[in-house]
Amino acid sequence: MGHTISRQRRDFSSYKLLVIALALGTLISGCSSTSSNSARVVDRNAPVAKRPAVTSGQYVVRPGDTLYSIAFRYGWDYKDLAARNGITAPYTIRVGQAIRFDGRSGAPAGGTTTVVTSSSSPSSKTTVTTRPAGTPAKAATPAPPVPPPVATPATPAAPAQVPAAERSVGGWAWPANGVLIGKFASNGSLNKGIDIAGDLGQPVFAASDGSVVYAGSGLRGYGELVIIKHSDTYVSAYGHNRRLLVREGQQVKVGQTIAEMGSTGTDRVKLHFEIRRQGKPVDPLQFLPRR
């Protein structure tokens, strides 16, 4: 009798654990799953929320960076960022070069400089102290306590409207075959493009003619990424690929295969596709032909 009761207790405990595990699994899948009928998709691994362009500090160029990828990461139009730093076409940059966002020509003779590091998000900054060469370092003085920042609610941004003439002239085509599972979020809280579901390894196409200005995995949240410059106004981005089939500087045509669909940087096989007008994300569905 005692053995029977003990076994029943063990069975009941196992049942409780199973119920908890199933409940947690349902909760997690409910948070990350998507539906083709949903206008807004919550994806924990989607690109980070849209932020205003960084306008302070600087970024130090690392191997693999291009001016286009830096501008894309920090919300700038590449032409404006180049002009701010005195960089002329073909916009060549070198490892160790400081790309400034505040318009200054260099670090001040003494004081502090805010540096945006590549390992952090655009909102994360590191403050370093600079001084003229040969000046002895002074003893550090404790900084006064800084009150914690007060969070302010984000103001939803109005949807970016693109002139009809620009939408009709681009020669845009769908970058992949598949079900649309994520739409552009104009309030800036979620998606800066669209998401298209598909099969691992299926082709990803250039959405319009252009030149590849970035091909790599250096932008956090995008996985293996391709950025194509179509004009002085427009670039497009293709994220989460399994394999990239183009290189920087290569000219591509609309419909040309540029990558294989994958799940790098996210939790399922899909293509994340963005169009940016003068550095700002716009709704790709304004450009792509109706299905």
Q: Single out the residue in 86, 113, 130 at which a domain terminates.
A: 130
Task: Say if residue 121 is in the same domain as residue 223.
Answer: no
Tell me the pLDDT of the chain (291 aa) as tens digits.
Answer: 555 545 555 554 544 444 444 343 433 333 333 433 433 443 434 443 445 678 888 899 998 889 888 888 888 888 888 888 999 888 889 999 999 988 665 444 344 444 444 443 444 444 333 344 444 444 444 554 544 444 333 333 344 455 554 544 458 999 999 999 999 987 655 688 999 999 999 999 999 999 999 999 989 889 999 999 999 999 999 999 999 999 999 999 999 999 999 999 999 999 999 999 999 999 999 999 988
73 within a domain of the structure (yes/no): yes
Task: Say if residue 189 is in the same domain as residue 249.
Answer: yes
151 within a domain of the structure (yes/no): no
Is the Cα dihedral 155, 159, 160, 163 positive or negative? negative
d(CA 78, CA 71): 5
- Model pLDDT, residue 242: 97
C-alpha distances (whole Å) from 277 to each of 110, 208, 217, 251 are: 38, 14, 22, 20
The string over 180-189, giving b where at least 16 C-beta atoms fall within 10 Å of a residue's C-beta and e elsewhere, is bbbbbbbebe
48 within a domain of the structure (yes/no): no
Residues in the chain: 291
Task: Say if residue 101 is in the same domain as residue 211.
Answer: no
32 within a domain of the structure (yes/no): no
Query: Where residue 269 sits, what CATH number does that domain have?
Result: 2.70.70.10
192 within a domain of the structure (yes/no): yes
Task: Say if residue 110 is in the same domain as residue 169.
Answer: no
- Model pLDDT, residue 187: 67
Assign residue 75 a region (left: φ > 0; alpha: ψ between -120 and 50; beta: otherwise): left
Based on the structure, what is the number of domains in the chain? 2
Predicted TM-score of the model (pTM): 0.58
Burial of 193 (0-12, 13-18, 19+ CB in 10 A): buried
Domain assignment of residue 204, given as a range:
164-286
Task: Say if residue 171 is in the same domain as residue 115.
Answer: no
- Model pLDDT, residue 150: 40
280 within a domain of the structure (yes/no): yes
Q: What angle do CA 290, 210, 171 make, to 5 degrees?
A: 25
Task: Say if residue 113 is in the same domain as residue 171.
Answer: no
143 within a domain of the structure (yes/no): no
Query: Where residue 90 sits, what CATH number does that domain have?
Result: 3.10.350.10
